[in-house]
Amino acid sequence: MQNKILLPEDRIPKYWYNVIPDMPGPLAPVIHPGTMQPVKPEDLLPIFPMPLIEQEVSQQRWIEIPEPVREIFRIWRPSPLFRAHRLEKALGTPAKIYYKYEGVSPAGSHKPNSAVPQAYFNKISGTKRIATETGAGQWGCSIALACQMFGLECTVYMVKVSFAQKPYRKSMMQLWGANVIPSPSDQTNAGRAMLAKDPENGGSLGLAISEAVEDAVSREDTRYALGSVLNHVCLHQTIIGLEAKEQMAIAGDYPDVVIGCHGGGSNFAGIGFPFVADKANGKQVRVLAVEPASCPTLTRGVYAFDYGDTAKMAPVAKMYTLGHDFMPPGIHAGGLRYHGASPLVSQLLAAGVIEAKAVHQLACFDAAVLFSRTEGIIPAPESSHAIRGAIDEALQAKEEGKEKTILFNLSGHGHVDMTAYDDFFAGKLTDYEYPTEAIKESLSQLPKVD
């Protein structure tokens, strides 16, 4: 039986799909956190290079992927699409389950899909150095790799507790030539202020963002890079879904439901938006985001204007949010612990174009173990949410005795996340209740936007 569908490298897409022209209604403005007025493109120039700012607001449906970007993509793209025969059999489901596997990138996740073009567009715009932040390290690894490929310097502010707890990802960044600085650091005002207040502070993603942005805006040769949430990041990730559509066609199939795990939204947008395009053209397809119950942005948040970061330095955007003060419990899927969501994903959800559901941590690890033991590949804890979503759809099909075609995105491998599995097997993991009170509290802090 055919197990995987490969595309030759000349089938790497030549264009990204931009969902903006197919959105249900105009985009909400992005608000400057200082003036509380709409941000103008030129306001962003100290932070991002012009080509990325243009992509952020572009109304073009198809945006060309430059050849030097495709050249680097050839290291791992097109990524394989698998049919999960053994998982289907273990579930006893009539459903067909396909998955697109992004763990084949050198960094082990989908993140280089945006890191590589971000480095490239910075390079051609004269940027010499990128400053960014990373939590668990997936994004930091990816931007380090991408900067190395285009000869850019790279500084990564890594949340201090992760710097200590995720030494392998830190080492990968260093191997790819990046300067990795534990945050809070003494390199920025934001870092120094925190250290003065609390010398033992272990850092947070919000603070690391503040340090990276401050670094970028304070140096003429440096720009900032973000690994999720933004429109241009979602754009870059659509290469996942575009390839998957071609591979599904080769398999002679089309999904009834397309599933991605959801944190900031980039891998979900990547697999999902090209199918949203089909929906806009009248196709019947469900597009489902699966998020952790401990950080239920899409299912328990509100659709409102909020800051992108805890420190209120990032722009204010209209999105599903749990409130910028919300601090989720310490689940192992570190990449899904964000209070907000991509504004594009949020608008599609608010309009009923896509769906969202929340799943609990233990059920995700159950799914990841079953997947590892049938399909062989060890998933990242983040990706296990998509697997859980797919398995639930397949079990529902079994219960209903219905055929169903399921496609999900396996966004990364878990080789560097094995302590999470250890903790699961040792019974150290728990399911958190929905953090109802914490959400209520943090939602009372939303900014007022006219």
**Which residues bind to a copy of itself, rule: CB under 8 A?**
1-4, 6, 8-9, 71-72, 74-75, 82, 86, 104, 106, 108, 145, 148-149, 167-168, 171-172, 174-177, 369, 372-373, 375-378, 415-416, 418-419, 421-422, 425
**31 touches 40 (CB < 8 A):** no
CB of 118 to a copy of itself, least distance (A): 16
C-beta closer to a copy of itself: residue 218 or 419 = 419
Distances (CA, A) of 322 to 192, 214, 288, 306, 316: 28, 25, 19, 9, 14
CB of 179 to a copy of itself, least distance (A): 12
Beta strands, E only, 89-170? 96-101, 129-134, 153-159
- Nearer to a copy of itself among residue 2 and residue 281 (C-beta): 2
Q: Give 150 or 326: the residue with its C-beta nearer to a copy of itself.
A: 150
Residue number with CB closer to a copy of itself (2 or 444): 2
Residue number with CB closer to a copy of itself (175 or 351): 175
How far does Cα 89 stand from its chain's mean position?
A: 30
Shortest distance, position 104 Cβ to a copy of itself, whole Å: 6
Pick 246 or 355: Cβ nearer a copy of itself: 246
Residue 171 CB partners (closer than 8 Å, separation 6+) = none
Cis amide prior to 343 (ω within 30 degrees): no
Question: Considering the complex, what minimum distance in angstroms separates the CB of residue 377 from a copy of itself?
Answer: 5
Sign, CA dihedral 339-104-381-389, equals: positive
Q: How far is the CB of 138 from a copy of itself (least distance, A)?
A: 12
Structure tokens that stand for 309 in this block? 């970061």
Q: What is the nearest approach in angstroms of a copy of itself to the Cβ of residue 233?
A: 20
Residues 6+ apart with CB under 8 A from 244: 81, 98, 100, 271, 274, 407, 409
Task: State whether residue 254 is helix, strand or coil.
Answer: coil
Structure tokens at 402: 């219905």
